[in-house]
Amino acid sequence: MGFITRPPHRFLSLLCPGLRIPRLSVPCAQPRPRAMALPSSSCKLPLVAVCQVTSTPDKQQNFKTCAELVREAARLGACLAFLPEAFDFIARDPAETLRLSEPLGGRLLEEYTQLARECGLWLSLGGFHERGQDWEQTQKIYNCHVLLNSKGAVVATYRKTHLCDVEIPGQGPMCESNSTMPGPSLESPVSTPAGKVGLAVCYDMRFPELSLALAQAGAEILTYPSAFGSVTGPAHWEVLLRARAIETQCYVVAAAQCGRHHEKRASYGHSMVVDPWGTVVARCSEGPGLCLARIDLSYLRQLRQHLPVFQHRRPDLYGNLGHPLS
C-alpha cells in the first residue's frame, strides 16, 4: 500500500506505521507476516523522524540543511528527530577534522539547542566531533552522540566506543583512531517521548554485545547514526540493522549520511527504521530528505511476550554476552 503527495506536509496520512518523506513521495511501510498482530494505527502513537543529509566541510551550510529537515519534522508532528553521524561536518582529512571540531559548549551545539527549543522536539545528534576535557593533552576528539530534549538541554552523551579502523578493497582505508579517542563506557537508555532510547554510533552496530547490553538495560529503541561506505553499505547496512532489531526485539533507527561529501569521500545513505519483528517500516532512498515512523511500544511488548528470547538465554553455556549495564 502506498501513495504520493505533493508537497509532503499537506494531505499527509499518519495511519501507516512508517512513512517516507522525501521532497515528493511517501510510500507506506511493508506489511508484517499474518502470524504477527499489526501495530495500532492510532495517531496517538509517537512519531519519529529520521533525517538523511550530505555533510561537507562547511559547518554553517550543514546546519542550515539539518535545521530545514528538523523544522519539517516538527511541522509533520514528530516528537523526536534523528540526525546522522557527522551531521556537523565531514572533513577531507584528520587535520581538518581536528581544526573544525568544537567542545560541547561551543557555538554549533548552542545553535542546535536553540533549534530544539524552537521546534519543541527532541534531537538525536548522531555524531558530533567533540573536543573533550582531555583535548589539550591528547589533541584528539570524541565521536559523541548527543541527545537533546525539547527544551534544548543535553540529557545524554555517548562517545563512540568502537572506532572504525578498516581497509575495505574498493572503498579505501579508514583509520578513525588517527583523530578520535574511543569512548570509555556505554550510556544507559534514556526515556524520551517515543520510548527508551539506547545510544550507539555507526560501526557499533557490528558488535551485538553492545545492543544486547542496551536491550537488557531497558532500551526499546536502538539508534545507529551512520556514514556507511559505498562497498559495505549495499552488502551489510540493512542486514545488520535488521539483525540488531530482531535479536534485541527493539525498534532500530538509523539516520545516515548519503552522496558525495567532497572529492575524497561518499556515503551510502538508505536511512531507515526497523521494527522489532525485523520489518523495515520506513526508509529514505537517494539524496537528502527524511522518513517518518510511528513507535508502537504495545506491539513491542506483545512481541516480547510471544517470543520471550531474553527469558530463554543460557549464560551458563556461553557467558553473559552483552552484560547488563550497571
Whether 10 is covered by a domain: the verdict is no
User: Rounded CA gap, 13 and 90, in Å?
Assistant: 35
User: Rounded CA gap, 325 and 180, in Å?
Assistant: 24
More confident of the two residues 270 and 263: 270
Read off φ and ψ for residue 198, nearest 5 degrees: -100, 130
On average, the pLDDT of the chain sits at 88
User: Rounded CA gap, 90 and 58, in Å?
Assistant: 8
Q: How many residues belong to the chain?
A: 326
Q: Which residues pair with 123 in a beta bridge?
A: 81, 148
Whether 16 is covered by a domain: the verdict is no
* Residue 256, domain extent: 47-311
Q: pTM for this structure?
A: 0.88
User: Rounded CA gap, 33 and 145, in Å?
Assistant: 34
pLDDT of residue 33: 41
Active-site amino acid positions: 85, 160, 202
Query: By three-state DSSP, how is residue 268 classified?
Result: strand
User: Rounded CA gap, 324 and 280, in Å?
Assistant: 27
pLDDT (tens digit per residue) in 200-226: 999 999 999 999 999 999 999 999 999
User: Rounded CA gap, 305 and 145, in Å?
Assistant: 31
Q: Which residues pair with 273 in a beta bridge?
A: 253, 282
**H helix runs in 44-163, sequence order:** 59-75, 94-100, 107-119, 135-138
pLDDT of residue 121: 97
pLDDT (tens digit per residue) in 57-72: 999 999 999 999 999 9
Q: Which residues pair with 19 in a beta bridge?
A: 28, 292
- Name the percent of the chain lying above pLDDT 70: 86
Query: By three-state DSSP, how is residue 62 classified?
Result: helix
Whether 236 is covered by a domain: the verdict is yes
User: Rounded CA gap, 270 and 108, in Å?
Assistant: 26
Whether 2 is covered by a domain: the verdict is no
Whether residue 285 contacts residue 22, with contact meaning beta carbons closer than 8 Å, is answered with yes
Residue 49 grid cell: 523522524
Element housing 234 (H / E): helix 232-248
Instruction: Output the CA torsion 311→317→320→321 (10° steps).
Output: -100
More confident of the two residues 261 and 149: 149
Q: Which of 147, 125, 154 is nearest to 51 (CA)?
A: 125
Residue 64 grid cell: 542550515
User: Rounded CA gap, 26 and 233, in Å?
Assistant: 23
Looking up residue 292, the CATH number of its domain turns out to be 3.60.110.10
Number of domains in the chain: 1
Residue 67 grid cell: 535545521
Q: Give the N- to C-terminal CA distance of the chain in Å, as an integer.
A: 44
Whether 14 is covered by a domain: the verdict is no
Whether 114 is covered by a domain: the verdict is yes
Whether 192 is covered by a domain: the verdict is yes
pLDDT of residue 263: 80
| Cis peptide preceding 33, ω within 30 of 0 | no
pLDDT of residue 230: 86
Whether 323 is covered by a domain: the verdict is no
Average pLDDT value for residue range 67-93: 97
